[in-house]
Amino acid sequence: MPKKRGNLRNKSELLAVRSLLGAIGALPLETSMRFGEAVGQFIASRFPKLQKTARRNLEIAMPELPENEKQKIVRGTFESLGRHLGFVSHFKRFEHEDIRDLIEVVGKRHFDEAHDAGRGVLFFTGHFGSWEVFNLLPAAFGFEMNILVRRIDNPLVENFVDVMRTRFGSVTLDKTKSARAMFRVLENGGLLGILADLNVQEKEGVFVDFFGVPASTTTSIAKLALKTGAAVLPAFAVWDESKKKYIVHLEPKVEYSKTDDDAEDIINLTQKITNLVEKYVRAYPEQWLWIHRRWNTRPKGEKGLY
């Protein structure tokens, strides 16, 4: 049972979050994002364990890379996180037209086709660039968006963050309590977004290959799709330095079929989803969350990798 959090601790953490975002967000957007990159590097210097995790992940995923390339990716990861922080710090200021101007969408026809089918659209993405933009982007184009989230342990910080996420009308669903709500959204032809690139406990996922190494991966996307027939649509937001903006890439829907073997159907679809995540990690390695222990859960009897 988790230890009860004190009110003083909760208030102190909220003050720290508000102060950091307030200080960064007081600057013009481009300056905020550049300053955020510096903050990312400061975080890297203060938390060497995060750098260690990132380097270990790169050893697991791409052992063939030379050391200087690995270090470049680690540095880029923290810069990307900081840039993302600078962008998020302006969420309270953005209006619909700001999002439409600041974010370029590539492949919108794939969404239009999936949405017009009327069976619900299940977006999946990963921790790339500015994944939080998906809380605002659909609403900026007139669509109601539902986002599956893990609630922050600090209820004051959670409320603060949730207000930013939902200011355009998006709805956040608690991943531990919203199974029926998720099915209902898709069955009614709605939009649901889920992150697909985090390690999960074995009871919550299946092992599929990620960079050729078994990785425990959420089955929630596959189960929802197979149950409702929703379109499974890849969506990744990555930073384009030449354009100085985030580009949202919408890929064609993932093809899947339902057979008499539910377990195998779930594994097959989860592997297809994971393959697309890997595609983007390989394409934009400096913008992925390498500081997360992606291969932490291991098959029974297998030695830990960290």
CATH code assigned at 159 = 3.40.1130
C-alpha span between 37 and 85 (Å, rounded):
8
Look at residues 252, 237, 261 and name the one whose alpha carbon lies nearest to residue 102.
237
Prediction pTM value: 0.94
| Whether the predicted pLDDT of 2 surpasses 60 | no
| Whether the predicted pLDDT of 144 surpasses 70 | yes
| pLDDT score recorded for residue 177 | 87
| pLDDT score recorded for residue 3 | 60
β-sheet bridge partners, residue 245: 240
Mean pLDDT calculated for residue range 251-264: 96
Is 178 inside any structural domain? yes
Structure tokens at 134: 């998906």
Is 199 inside any structural domain? yes
Cβ–Cβ < 8 Å for 114, 124: no
| pLDDT score recorded for residue 1 | 46
Percent over 90 (pLDDT), the chain: 94
Q: Is 248 left (phi over 0), alpha (psi -120 to 50) or beta?
A: beta
Is 295 inside any structural domain? no
β-sheet bridge partners, residue 103: 246
Mean pLDDT calculated for residue range 214-222: 97
Residue 298: how many other CB atoms lie within 10 Å:
17
Percent over 70 (pLDDT), the chain: 99
| Whether the predicted pLDDT of 233 surpasses 60 | yes
60-74: per-residue pLDDT in tens?
A: 999 999 999 999 999
Contacts of 108 (CB under 8 A, 6+ apart): 250
Structure tokens at 142: 């007139």
Range of the domain at 89: 7-287
β-sheet bridge partners, residue 193: 123, 147
Mean pLDDT calculated for residue range 255-276: 97
Is 298 inside any structural domain? no
As for how many domains the chain has, the answer is: 1
| pLDDT score recorded for residue 252 | 97
Residue 7: how many other CB atoms lie within 10 Å:
9
Mean pLDDT calculated for residue range 249-277: 97
77-115: per-residue pLDDT in tens?
A: 999 999 999 999 999 999 999 999 999 999 999 999 999
Please provide the distance, in angstroms rounded to a whole number, between the alpha carbons at the two ends of the chain: 25
Is 2 inside any structural domain? no
Instruction: Name the average pLDDT for the chain.
Output: 95
| Whether the predicted pLDDT of 119 surpasses 50 | yes
Is 87 inside any structural domain? yes
Cβ–Cβ < 8 Å for 37, 86: yes
Is 214 inside any structural domain? yes
| Whether the predicted pLDDT of 178 surpasses 90 | no
Is 188 inside any structural domain? yes
Structure tokens at 289: 């969350």
Cβ–Cβ < 8 Å for 187, 44: no
| pLDDT score recorded for residue 26 | 95
